[in-house]
A = this chain, B = another copy of it.
Amino acid sequence: MTETPLQATAFSDDAAGRVVISVDAMGSDRGPAAVVAGCSHFARKHSNAFFLIHGPKAELEKLALSKKALKGRYEICDATGVVSMDDKPAQVLRLGKQTSMWSALESVRNKDATVCVSCGNTGALMLLSVVRLRKIPGVYRPAIAVLWPSRNPQGFNVMLDAGADIRADERDLLQYALMGASYARNGLNLDRPRVGLLNVGTEEFKGRAEMHAAHELISENAKAARFEFVGFVEGSDIPGDRCDVIVTDGFTGNIALKTGEGTASLIRDFLREAFNHTLLSRFAALLAYTSLKRLGKRIDPRQVNGGVFLGLNGTVVKSHGSADATGVAAALDLAYQLAQSGFNEKLAARISAATMLAAEASDETDADGELT
């Protein structure tokens, strides 16, 4: 039941020692050219990566042939339909069998790849993933986990749920804690992640009953699941260093994520304006070019591109719809890392252990009365 961090293991995807990634080339804001360029960027860094690229064959073949780094490293899986950003998820589920998104998930379902990456419609991707890949036995609600730039040494924190489901009760929040800790162990190389439960700061507000129930439940399970529970944390701790994993419901998580992104983007624009203000400040900006670039990189959403769907039989990485080649490459990087570490098998084992523990506890309760 122990999970070793990424570096200690070297899982590979298939008999040939390749890590196979299924890529949905369609449905993003920038079209398939950005996706194929992202594959090429990424391929240069990882020689054992292999791509199954889903979309209209002729178009993709032309794009892929122009990339040297992709030579002999991909297979095009022909799919003529495209899920657009406005398509209703239920509609895609009913009518979307011909789409590249559906096809990309089928490769994971058929075990031809362990991970799938898509820049498309989040709602449709989530619904298709749940229906086609199915939940890991024991998981109540899948969640979307995102990486958040932080003050911690590893540079990022994990926050979940970022919007897979708008409600979560205490059992769900416990599972998010288990899944988030597992993700932090395999994606961020943290042996014993610190988990915090998102709440409002002041005393009175801490009274919300479901938060207290979740607090108790997570606290009870922390030791067996090998994470440290730091208790309630506040919004300011999401980018902070009090914990590595922030657990919350999908409504709150989605709003926090977009608020953080909006704030960062506002400050980036203010920064640009400030340096464009006078001739001297423009000259200073020139001198400070590398410094500003360094800063830009640290707060660039493209560098941490990828929400991961947790709790399914297979890993799905959702890249930003507007991701360019750099963004797509970052999402592929994350997918590759998770595939290589055998993350999903470990997560399933973790959930199954927790479910057994809970069953044992309830057996004991049944046998010995309510309060044991």
Contacts and interface: CB of A to CB of B under 8 A. Distances in A.
Contact of A271 (B234, B262, B266, B295): B295
Contacts of A288: 275, 281, 284-285, 287-288
A131 interface: no
Nearest to A259: B235
B259 A166 contact: no
Interface residues of A, number: 65
B295 A251 contact: no
A238 to B, nearest CB: 6
A262 B237 contact: yes
Interface stretch (A194-202, A329-337, A348-356): A194-202
Given A122-B202, A284-B288, A298-B270, A240 B255 contact: no
A58 interface: no
A250 B205 contact: yes
Nearest to A85: B202
A204 interface: yes
Contact of A291 (B202, B261, B277): B277
A274 B294 contact: yes
Given A256-B259, A257-B235, A266-B150, A251 B200 contact: yes
A234 B251 contact: no
B200 A163 contact: yes
A250 B200 contact: yes
A291 B275 contact: yes
A267 interface: yes
Interface string A259-298: 1111111110111001101101101110110111011001
A62 interface: no
A326 interface: no
A344 interface: no
19 contacts: A122-B202, A150-B266, A151-B266, A234-B255, A234-B258, A235-B256, A235-B259, A235-B262, A236-B261, A239-B263, A263-B263, A264-B267, A267-B267, A270-B295, A270-B298, A277-B294, A280-B287, A284-B291, A285-B291
